[in-house]
């Protein structure tokens, strides 16, 4: 096992390894790909250095554990490179100042063995969880209380082998595992990877901040529930952009705990930017808020997204016992094609068996701004129902053109609104009476930037392994600098 430590700057290509030898690191362009990260790492190793076998059958659980134990403790940070091949492994945990780099055609395969995913408690903001006394299986890739975690590469794949779990769903005693769940962590970057076939959520940052998701692909079975793409959960200052998501449930879902547990835990999801996504989710939506939103969801800015063959563009779900709030939601420029409801809101969402104590006060939903959108082949423009006696307030819609699907007469109403209030301007077809009051020509959209949108990443070179085994990658890296 030979980890090469490289003390060199990005431009300085000669390097010194742990044994004091001088190695000549190849320029990144001669067999590596530059990638962006919060910080480059001082040490790097390939899974092959730790006994990795990429045949899709041999277990690499020990190799991953050894590699992350070693590289995760490396001064100046460590980077684990996964070369082309299929690396089967049981769940593993990430480390601080750590980069998992998947080369082209690298696949990390989640072992389909229930016993390898011990059941853990529901999250504290969820209390009993959204099932009958349910715990949850350990996530496949997880991390907790970390700083600066990066998963990137040249579009390698992390495959959760979800079908194994879907087939057993009726008999499972806990929630199916999430593919990647990172908790209580600052500075997370996930880019240029494919996340496939998660048993449940694909990427679930919880109680975290400063998160970037950029240029990823998420591919899941379109008929399986709860295989949501990206779920910021009680997470702040997060940017999600330039990605393609096709999944069985929401492409992006914003959550923050459930009922009285979520209200008391009081960790909102806020400062979230979502842009340039393409989403396909036949029974769900591009962006969903709730139904678990008891810690609050606010300051969401979504623009330039495309959603096709899906149930909804924007969906807000809650119920009278949830508490919390959904405030200052700004969405513009969604292109929608073939939707059941372009917009869906409900204050009576109750399809989950729920054993939590309810919040003391009903949720407050206000300041929902939707503008500059086109949609075609839509069955219902808006199914918008708030809570009786507690309407969803301050809904603003402007410059929205929805082309309805051809339906045999009598055509269903384009809008179906109750317990909602707000204003509108230039909306086609003509909007429902509760939102018909004349509003500003354009609804609000923030002009400032979120802190995460101004973070400058470093360019880090990575070298492709010279051979399939033995000491391999020797990237040049800069010593970590404090993140913003």
Using CB under 6 A, list all residues that contact ligand NAG.
155, 163, 166, 194, 217, 221, 223-224, 333, 338, 372-374, 377, 379, 385, 399, 405, 412-413, 416, 418
Residue nearest ligand NAG by beta-carbon distance: 385
Torsion of CA 297, 310, 157, 243, to 10 degrees: -60
Name the 3-class secondary structure at 64: helix
Q: How far is the CB of 68 from ligand NAG (least distance, A)?
A: 24
- CA distances for 423 relative to 314, 368, 373, 482, angstroms: 17, 10, 16, 45
Q: Please report, for the chain, how many H helices and E strands are present, in that order.
A: 3, 35
Is 232:273 a contact under the CB 8 Å cutoff?
no
Q: How far is the CB of 376 from ligand NAG (least distance, A)?
A: 8
Which of residues 44 and 383 has its CB atom nearest to ligand NAG in the complex?
Answer: 383
Which of residues 364 and 405 has its CB atom nearest to ligand NAG in the complex?
Answer: 405
Pairing, β 420-428 against β 392-404: parallel
Pairing, β 14-16 against β 22-24: antiparallel
Q: How far is the CB of 214 from ligand NAG (least distance, A)?
A: 11
CA 69 distance to own-chain centroid: 26
Which of residues 426 and 483 has its CB atom nearest to ligand NAG in the complex?
Answer: 426
Angle at 39 between CA 35 and CA 42, to 5 degrees: 95
Q: How far is the CB of 392 from ligand NAG (least distance, A)?
A: 11
Q: If you search the block for the tokens 């678990």, which residue do you land on?
A: 292
Q: How far is the CB of 128 from ligand NAG (least distance, A)?
A: 27
Which of residues 266 and 405 has its CB atom nearest to ligand NAG in the complex?
Answer: 405
Q: How far is the CB of 479 from ligand NAG (least distance, A)?
A: 30
Q: How far is the CB of 13 from ligand NAG (least distance, A)?
A: 28
Which of residues 122 and 345 has its CB atom nearest to ligand NAG in the complex?
Answer: 345
> What does the DSSP 8-state code read for residue 401?
E
Which of residues 149 and 345 has its CB atom nearest to ligand NAG in the complex?
Answer: 345
Which of residues 209 and 224 has its CB atom nearest to ligand NAG in the complex?
Answer: 224
All residues at 6 or more sequence positions from 196 whose CB lies less than 8 Å from its CB, including other chains: 157, 158, 159, 160, 218, 219, 220
Structure tokens at 425: 């301007």
């Amino acid at each position: 096992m030979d980890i090469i430590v490289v003390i060199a700057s990005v431009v300085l290509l000669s390097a010194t390894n742990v044994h004091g030898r001088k190695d000549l690191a190849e320029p990144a362009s001669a067999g590596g790909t530059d990638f962006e990260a919060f910080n480059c790492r001082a040490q790097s190793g390939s899974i092959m250095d730790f006994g990795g076998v990429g045949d899709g059958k041999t277990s690499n659980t020990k190799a991953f554990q050894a590699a992350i134990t070693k590289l995760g403790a490396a001064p100046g940070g460590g980077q684990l490179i996964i070369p082309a091949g299929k690396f089967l492994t049981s769940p593993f945990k990430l480390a601080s100042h750590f980069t998992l780099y998947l080369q082209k055609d690298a696949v990390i395969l989640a072992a389909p063995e229930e016993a390898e995913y011990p059941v853990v408690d529901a999250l504290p903001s969820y209390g009993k969880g959204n099932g009958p006394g349910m715990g949850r299986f350990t996530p496949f890739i997880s991390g907790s209380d970390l700083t600066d975690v990066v998963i990137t590469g040249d579009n390698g794949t992390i495959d959760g082998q979800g079908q194994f779990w879907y087939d057993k769903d009726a008999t499972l005693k806990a929630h199916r595992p999430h593919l990647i769940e990172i908790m209580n962590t600052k500075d997370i970057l996930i880019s240029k990877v494919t996340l496939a076939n998660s048993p449940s959520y694909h990427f679930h940052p919880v109680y975290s901040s400063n998160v970037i998701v950029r240029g990823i692909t998420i591919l899941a079975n379109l008929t399986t529930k709860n295989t949501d793409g990206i779920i910021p959960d009680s997470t702040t200052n997060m940017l999600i952009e330039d990605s393609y998501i096709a999944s069985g449930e929401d492409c992006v879902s914003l959550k923050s705990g459930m009922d009285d547990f979520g209200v008391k835990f009081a960790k909102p999801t806020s400062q979230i930017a979502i842009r340039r996504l393409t989403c396909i989710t036949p029974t769900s939506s591009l962006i969903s808020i709730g139904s678990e939103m008891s810690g609050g969801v606010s300051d969401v800015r979504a623009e330039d997204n495309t959603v096709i063959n899906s149930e909804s563009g924007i969906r807000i779900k809650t119920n009278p016992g949830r508490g919390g709030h959904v405030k200052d939601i700004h969405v513009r420029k969604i292109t929608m094609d073939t939707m059941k409801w372009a917009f869906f809101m409900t204050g009576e969402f109750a399809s989950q068996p729920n054993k939590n104590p309810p919040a003391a006060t009903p949720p407050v939903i206000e300041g929902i701004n939707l503008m500059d959108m086109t949609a075609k082949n839509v069955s219902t423009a808006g199914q918008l129902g708030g809570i009786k006696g507690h309407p969803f307030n301050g809904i603003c819609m402007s410059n929205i053109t929805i082309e309805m699907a051809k339906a045999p007469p009598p055509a269903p109403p384009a809008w179906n609104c109750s317990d909602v209030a707000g204003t509108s301007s230039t909306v086609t077809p003509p909007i429902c009476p509760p939102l018909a009051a004349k509003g500003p020509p354009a609804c609000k959209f923030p002009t400032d930037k979120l802190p995460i949108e101004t973070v400058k990443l470093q360019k880090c070179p990575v070298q492709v392994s010279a051979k399939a085994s033995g000491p391999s990658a020797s990237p040049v890296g800069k010593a970590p600098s404090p993140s913003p």
